[in-house]
C-alpha cells in the first residue's frame, strides 16, 4: 500500500462501504447490547442506565434454554450432516449430468417460500390428522409426533438441509475423480476408497456446512416454537420473550452476550479441530 | 530390493503372455472405441500403444486396468481372463496422466497406499522399509515427509511411479506419463523409465501420442487408428517396413508421391504420378498387395534423399526430380530443406553435415535436383 499512492487510495475507497456496514450494523449494535446487559429494567420495561452484574447473576433462571440449545443444535447439526452427505455425494458423483442441475434446483426450491410457512405445514403433517393417522391404518395407534423433540429435529433437518448439502456438494464436485480411480487401482475397495480419499478430501465442505447450520441453529426460535409446542425452549425463544413480551431488555442483552460468547468459543474450537493441523493447504481452499 | 528380475521372470511363466486381447471390442453408445482387437504383450516387454487422440489406445489401457469392461471379447492377464474383475482385484498398477497423487497425504503415505490396502496388512515398519527402498529406486531418498504439492512436476512423476511400482505389479500401465513435463525433463524421464524397466523387470505398457517417445523407449509398438490396430512391431520394423502410408506418416517423417499403380512385378510396383512421371518402390513386408489401377504412394524418408545442383550431375540416384528450395533450417548435425517440386508438392530433405562439407549448401530460392535409389523407396497403400 505504501508503494503506490493511487492504489492505496483505491483500496480505502473500496473497503469503506464494507467497513461502514460492519461498524454500524454489527459492531455498534453489539456495543449497545453489551452496555444494556449491565443495565436495569425500568418499571415499565425497556432499559435504565446502570452498572450491575445482576442480569448475569440471573442467567441460571434460563438454564433450560441453554441446555436445550446446546443439545438440539449439535445433535440437529449431526443429523443434518448424516442425511445431507449421501445426498450431496449422489448429486456430485453418482447422478447423470443431465439430471444434476434439475436435482440441485429441487434442493433449493423450498428456500423460495418462507421458513415460517414451511414449518407451519409440518404442524399439519406431524399433527393428529397427519402421519399419526396414516400409521393408525397399519395398526400403530397412539403415536404422538407434534410437540415432541422428534418434531423439532424433523423441522431442523428439513429447514437446514440445503445449507449442509451445498458446501459438501461443492467439495465433492471438485474432487478429482482420477484420485478415486488411483485408489481403486492400488487395491482400495470402494468402501476404503471412500474412507481414505473421498471423505478426507470433502472435509472442508463438511466443516463449512456444520458451521453454517450450527451457528444458525444456536439462534433458532421458529422451529421449537411451532413444532415443540412451547415445551422446548431455545435461547432464541427466550430472547424473543425477553425483548418482545416481557420487555426485559437488560436481561435479554445479558443472554444475547452469553450466546455470542458460547458461539465464538465453540466455533473457534471446532475450526481448530477440523481446519487446523496438517491438512492446511487443501482445506484453506474452501 | 527384496525381489529381483529373475525371480519375477520365473514367477510368471515365460511362455504365457502377460496381457492378451482376444477379439476385444469396446463400444460407448454406437461408437466402437476399440474394434475387434487381438494382441499380446510378452512378459518383461516395454510395450507402447501409439496413435492420435481417439484412436482407442487409452480405452485399451483402461480395459487392462479394469476401469472399463470390454463389450465383446476377452482380456487376459497372465493367462487368466479378467473380464468382470474390478480394478482393486487386478495385479496391475497404473501411472496416471496427471499423476493423481493424494493431496492430503505426504509422499511416503502416497507411496505406501497400495501396501496399506493389502489383507493382511503389512506392519508399519515393513511398509516404512519398503517405502524407503522404493524412494531410493526412483531417486527420491529423503523426500518421504514432503507434501506432494511441494514437489516439481518431475518429482511428482517419480512419486507416481514409486506408488505403482511398490506393489510389484505384473504389468505397469503408463497413461501419457510424460505429457505434463517440459521437453528436456521428458527426455531425461524417457531414459530413466527405460533403465527402471530393465532394473525391475516388470512389463510396462505405455500409452502415448508422441511417436518419438514410443520409438525411443519401446520394444514393441502397437499403432492404432479408429479403434483398430494398424501395425504392431519393433520400432525399427515400423520405421523400415510400415504397412501403410498412415504408419509411415506417424512413425518418423516421410515424403509421399501419390499416383496410380501401373505395373506390378514380384513385390515391386510402378506408380504413375499426376505429372506423368513413373516412380517405383517395393511393397512393405506384411502389407497387403497393391492392385494395378489402384491408388498408392511412393514413400521416401527425408534422410534417404540426396540433394544436388540443378544440372543433376553430382548425385548418384535412380530417380531424379527437380525443385526449388523454399526453406532451409540449419539443425547442426544436418540441414533440413523444404523443396517445392512442381506437381509433386513439398519435399523434405535431410542433408547430413559430412555431405554438406563436401558438396556445399544450397540457398533458399535455388533450383536443385533431388534423387534417390529405387531400393529405398516403398510403395504403400493408404
| Chain A residues within an 8 Å CB radius of B163 | 186
Q: What is the largest CA-CA distance in chain A?
A: 79
In degrees rounded to 5, what are phi and psi of residue B334?
-150, 170
Of B240, B262, B279, the residue at which a domain comes to its end is B240
Q: Kindly state whether residue B183 falls inside one of the protein's structural domains.
A: yes
Contact yes or no for A182 and B102 at CB 8 A = yes
Residue closest to B344 by CA, chosen among B282, B278, B281, B290: B278
User: Helix A63-89 and helix A249-275: axis angle, to 10°?
Assistant: 40
Contact yes or no for B98 and A178 at CB 8 A = yes
Number of domains comprising chain B:
3
Cβ neighbours of residue B71 closer than 8 Å, sequence gap 6 or more? B25, B26, B27
Q: Kindly state whether residue B379 falls inside one of the protein's structural domains.
A: no
Pick the CATH number of A62-284 from 1.10.357.10, 1.10.10.10, 1.20.1640.10, 1.10.3720.10: 1.10.3720.10
Q: Which triple of cell numbers denotes residue B76?
A: 487376459
Taking the C-alpha atoms of residue A206 and residue A167, their distance in angstroms, rounded to an integer, is 7
The CA distance from A187 to the nearest CA of chain B, in Å, is 4
Q: What pLDDT sits at residue A283?
A: 41
User: Quick one: pLDDT band at residue A84, thresholds 50, 70, 90?
Assistant: very high
**Interface residue of A182, A183, A201, A204 to substitute, partner B, most B CBs within 10 Å:** A182
| Chain B residues within an 8 Å CB radius of A178 | 96, 98, 100
Taking the C-alpha atoms of residue B279 and residue B276, their distance in angstroms, rounded to an integer, is 10
Residue closest to B238 by CA, chosen among B255, B257, B218: B218
Q: What pLDDT sits at residue B77?
A: 95
**Interface residue of B100, B147, B167, B172 to substitute, partner A, most A CBs within 10 Å:** B100
The CA distance from B168 to the nearest CA of chain A, in Å, is 11
Q: Does B149 touch chain A (CB under 8 A)?
A: yes
Q: What is the mean pLDDT of each run of 10 residues along chain B (382 residues)?
A: 45 74 94 94 94 92 96 94 94 93 95 94 94 93 92 92 94 91 86 90 93 91 93 92 90 90 84 86 82 87 89 80 91 90 89 83 88 89 82
Q: Give pLDDT tens digits for A96-138.
A: 888 999 999 998 888 888 889 999 999 999 987 888 888 888 8
Q: Does A197 touch chain B (CB under 8 A)?
A: yes
Q: Which residue of B has its CA nearest to A200?
A: B104
Q: Which triple of cell numbers denotes residue B137?
A: 529406486
| Chain A residues within an 8 Å CB radius of B114 | 186-187
**Interface residue of B64, B87, B121, B168 to substitute, partner A, most A CBs within 10 Å:** B87
**Looking at the structure, do residues B284 and B305 belong to the same domain, yes or no?**
no
Q: Does A187 touch chain B (CB under 8 A)?
A: yes
Taking the C-alpha atoms of residue B177 and residue B56, their distance in angstroms, rounded to an integer, is 17
User: Quick one: pLDDT band at residue A32, thresholds 50, 70, 90?
Assistant: very high
Q: Which residue of A has its CA nearest to B93?
A: A185
Taking the C-alpha atoms of residue B5 and residue B11, their distance in angstroms, rounded to an integer, is 10
Q: Kindly state whether residue B230 falls inside one of the protein's structural domains.
A: yes
DSSP code, position A244: I
Taking the C-alpha atoms of residue B49 and residue B65, their distance in angstroms, rounded to an integer, is 14
Evaluate if residue A271 carries a pLDDT over 90: no
Of B264, B280, B299, the residue at which a domain comes to its end is B299
**Looking at the structure, do residues B60 and B83 belong to the same domain, yes or no?**
yes
Q: What pLDDT sits at residue A286?
A: 34
CB A213 within 8 A of CB A76: yes
Contact yes or no for B164 and A186 at CB 8 A = yes
Q: Which residue of A has its CA nearest to B169?
A: A186
The closest CB to that of A176, out of B66, B100, B114, belongs to B100
**Looking at the structure, do residues B272 and B196 belong to the same domain, yes or no?**
no
User: Quick one: pLDDT band at residue A4, thresholds 50, 70, 90?
Assistant: low
| Chain B residues within an 8 Å CB radius of A182 | 94, 96, 100-102
Q: What pLDDT sits at residue B381?
A: 85
Spell A172-209 as b/e; 16+ CB within 10 A means b: beebbebbbbbbbbbbbeeeebbebbbebbbbbbbbbb
Strands B334-341 and B319-330: antiparallel
The closest CB to that of A186, out of B66, B98, B113, belongs to B113
Contact yes or no for B103 and A281 at CB 8 A = yes
Spell B176-200 as b/e; 16+ CB within 10 A means b: bbbeebeeebbeebbebbbebbeeb
**Interface residue of B58, B88, B119 to substitute, partner A, most A CBs within 10 Å:** B88
Q: Kindly state whether residue B328 falls inside one of the protein's structural domains.
A: yes
Contact yes or no for B86 and A179 at CB 8 A = no
ipTM above 0.90, yes or no: no
Please name the helix (run of DSSP H) or strand (run of DSSP E) that holds residue B20, with its range, or none. strand B19-28
Q: Does B157 touch chain A (CB under 8 A)?
A: no
Residue closest to B84 by CA, chosen among B66, B61, B60, B65: B66
**Looking at the structure, do residues B278 and B356 belong to the same domain, yes or no?**
no
Contact yes or no for A181 and B100 at CB 8 A = yes
Q: Kindly state whether residue B159 falls inside one of the protein's structural domains.
A: yes
**Looking at the structure, do residues B19 and B116 belong to the same domain, yes or no?**
yes
| Chain B residues within an 8 Å CB radius of A183 | 102, 113
The closest CB to that of B88, out of A188, A196, A201, belongs to A188
When computed from its CA atoms, the radius of gyration of chain A, rounded to whole angstroms, is: 23
Q: Kindly state whether residue B248 falls inside one of the protein's structural domains.
A: no
The CA distance from A285 to the nearest CA of chain B, in Å, is 12
In degrees rounded to 5, what are phi and psi of residue A57?
-65, -25
Q: Kindly state whether residue B380 falls inside one of the protein's structural domains.
A: no
CB A224 within 8 A of CB A152: yes
Taking the C-alpha atoms of residue B197 and residue B5, their distance in angstroms, rounded to an integer, is 10
Q: Does A284 touch chain B (CB under 8 A)?
A: no
Q: What percentage of chain A carries pLDDT values higher than 90?
A: 55
| Chain A residues within an 8 Å CB radius of B69 | none
| Chain A residues within an 8 Å CB radius of B93 | 185-186
Q: Where are the domains of chain A?
A: 62-284
Residue B155: count of CB within 10 angstroms of its CB: 17
Which domain covers residue B270, as residue numbers? Answer: 253-299
Taking the C-alpha atoms of residue A234 and residue A68, their distance in angstroms, rounded to an integer, is 6
Q: What pLDDT sits at residue A270?
A: 82
Q: Does B246 touch chain A (CB under 8 A)?
A: no
User: Quick one: pLDDT band at residue A3, thresholds 50, 70, 90?
Assistant: low
Residue B70 DSSP SS3: coil
Q: Which residue of A has its CA nearest to B172?
A: A185
Taking the C-alpha atoms of residue B186 and residue B212, their distance in angstroms, rounded to an integer, is 11
Cβ neighbours of residue B86 closer than 8 Å, sequence gap 6 or more? A184, B66
Contact yes or no for B94 and A185 at CB 8 A = yes
| Chain A residues within an 8 Å CB radius of B66 | 185
Q: Kindly state whether residue B212 falls inside one of the protein's structural domains.
A: yes
**Looking at the structure, do residues B123 and B204 belong to the same domain, yes or no?**
yes
**Interface residue of A178, A180, A187 to substitute, partner B, most B CBs within 10 Å:** A187
CB B298 within 8 A of CB B378: yes
Contact yes or no for B163 and A282 at CB 8 A = no
C-alpha torsion A226→A230→A234→A238, nearest 10: 110
**CATH code, domain with B337:** 2.40.50.100
| Chain A residues within an 8 Å CB radius of B86 | 184
Q: Does A177 touch chain B (CB under 8 A)?
A: no
**Looking at the structure, do residues B210 and B271 belong to the same domain, yes or no?**
no
**Looking at the structure, do residues B102 and B231 belong to the same domain, yes or no?**
yes
Residue A168 DSSP SS3: helix
Q: Give pLDDT tens digits for A196-232.
A: 999 999 999 999 999 999 999 998 989 998 998 878 8
Amino acid at each position: 500500500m505504501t508503494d503506490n499512492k493511487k492504489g492505496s487510495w483505491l483500496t480505502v475507497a473500496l473497503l469503506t462501504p464494507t467497513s461502514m456496514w460492519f461498524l454500524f450494523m454489527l459492531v455498534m449494535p453489539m456495543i449497545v447490547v453489551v452496555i444494556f446487559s449491565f443495565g436495569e429494567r425500568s418499571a415499565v420495561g425497556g432499559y435504565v442506565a446502570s452498572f450491575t452484574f445482576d442480569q448475569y447473576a440471573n442467567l441460571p433462571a434460563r438454564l433450560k434454554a441453554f441446555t436445550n440449545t446446546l443439545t438440539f443444535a449439535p445433535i440437529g447439526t449431526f443429523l443434518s450432516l448424516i442425511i445431507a452427505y449421501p445426498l450431496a455425494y449422489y448429486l456430485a458423483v453418482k447422478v447423470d449430468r443431465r439430471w444434476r442441475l434439475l436435482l440441485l434446483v429441487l434442493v433449493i426450491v423450498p428456500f423460495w417460500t418462507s421458513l415460517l410457512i414451511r414449518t407451519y405445514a409440518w404442524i399439519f403433517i406431524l399433527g393428529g390428522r397427519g402421519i399419526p393417522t396414516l400409521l393408525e391404518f397399519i395398526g400403530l395407534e397412539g403415536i404422538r409426533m407434534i410437540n415432541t423433540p422428534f418434531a423439532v429435529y424433523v423441522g431442523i433437518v428439513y429447514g437446514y438441509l440445503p445449507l449442509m448439502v451445498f458446501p459438501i456438494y461443492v467439495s465433492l464436485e471438485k474432487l478429482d475423480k482420477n484420485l478415486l480411480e488411483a485408489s481403486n487401482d492400488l487395491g482400495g475397495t470402494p468402501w476404503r476408497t471412500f474412507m481414505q480419499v473421498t471423505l478426507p478430501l470433502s472435509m472442508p465442505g463438511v466443516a463449512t456446512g456444520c458451521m453454517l447450520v450450527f451457528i444458525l441453529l444456536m439462534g433458532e426460535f421458529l422451529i421449537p416454537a411451532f413444532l415443540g409446542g412451547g415445551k422446548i425452549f431455545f435461547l432464541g425463544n427466550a430472547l424473543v420473550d425477553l425483548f418482545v413480551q416481557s420487555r426485559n431488555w437488560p436481561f435479554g442483552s445479558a443472554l444475547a452476550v452469553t450466546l455470542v460468547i458460547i458461539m465464538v468459543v465453540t466455533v473457534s474450537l471446532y475450526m481448530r479441530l477440523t481446519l487446523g493441523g496438517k491438512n492446511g493447504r487443501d482445506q484453506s481452499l474452501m | 530390493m527384496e525381489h529381483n528380475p529373475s525371480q519375477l521372470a520365473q514367477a510368471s511363466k515365460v511362455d504365457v503372455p502377460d496381457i492378451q486381447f482376444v477379439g476385444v471390442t469396446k463400444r460407448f453408445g454406437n461408437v466402437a472405441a476399440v474394434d475387434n482387437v487381438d494382441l499380446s504383450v510378452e512378459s518383461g516387454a516395454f510395450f507402447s500403444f501409439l496413435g492420435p487422440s481417439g484412436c482407442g489406445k487409452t480405452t485399451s489401457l483402461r480395459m487392462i486396468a479394469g476401469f472399463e469392461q470390454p463389450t465383446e471379447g476377452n482380456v487376459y492377464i497372465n493367462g487368466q481372463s479378467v473380464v468382470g474383475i474390478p480394478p482393486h482385484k487386478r495385479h496391475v498398477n497404473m501411472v496416471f496422466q496427471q499423476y493423481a497423487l493424494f493431496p492430503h497425504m505426504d509422499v511416503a503415505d502416497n507411496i505406501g497406499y497400495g501396501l496399506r490396502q493389502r489383507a493382511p496388512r503389512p506392519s508399519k515398519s515393513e511398509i516404512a522399509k519398503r517405502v524407503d527402498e522404493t524412494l531410493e529406486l526412483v531417486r527420491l531418498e529423503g523426500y518421504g515427509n514432503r507434501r506432494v504439492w511441494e514437489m516439481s512436476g518431475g518429482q511428482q512423476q517419480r512419486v507416481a511411479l514409486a506408488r505403482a511400482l511398490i506393489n510389484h505389479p505384473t504389468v505397469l500401465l503408463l497413461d501419457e506419463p510424460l505429457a505434463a513435463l517440459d521437453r528436456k525433463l521428458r527426455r531425461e524421464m524417457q531414459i530413466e523409465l527405460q533403465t527402471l524397466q530393465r532394473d525391475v523387470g516388470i512389463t510396462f505398457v505405455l500409452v502415448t501420442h508422441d511417436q518419438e517417445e514410443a520409438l525411443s523407449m519401446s520394444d514393441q509398438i502397437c499403432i492404432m487408428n479408429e479403434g483398430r490396430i494398424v501395425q504392431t512391431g519393433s520400432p525399427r520394423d515400423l520405421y523400415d517396413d510400415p504397412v501403410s502410408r498412415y504408419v509411415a506418416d506417424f512413425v518418423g517423417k516421410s515424403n509421399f508421391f501419390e499416383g496410380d499403380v501401373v505395373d506390378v512385378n514380384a513385390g515391386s510396383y510402378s506408380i504413375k504420378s499426376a505429372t506423368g512421371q513413373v516412380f517405383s518402390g517395393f511393397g512393405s513386408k506384411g502389407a497387403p498387395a497393391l492392385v494395378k489401377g489402384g491408388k498408392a504412394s511412393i514413400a521416401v524418408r527425408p534422410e534417404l534423399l540426396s540433394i544436388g545442383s540443378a544440372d543433376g550431375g553430382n548425385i548418384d540416384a535412380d530417380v531424379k526430380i527437380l525443385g526449388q528450395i523454399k526453406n532451409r533450417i540449419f539443425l547442426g548435425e544436418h540441414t533440413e530443406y523444404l523443396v517445392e517440386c512442381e506437381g509433386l508438392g513439398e519435399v523434405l530433405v535431410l542433408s547430413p553435415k559430412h555431405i554438406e562439407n563436401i558438396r556445399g549448401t544450397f540457398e533458399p530460392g535455388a533450383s536443385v535436383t533431388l534423387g534417390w535409389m529405387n531400393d529405398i523407396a516403398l510403395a504403400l497403400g493408404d
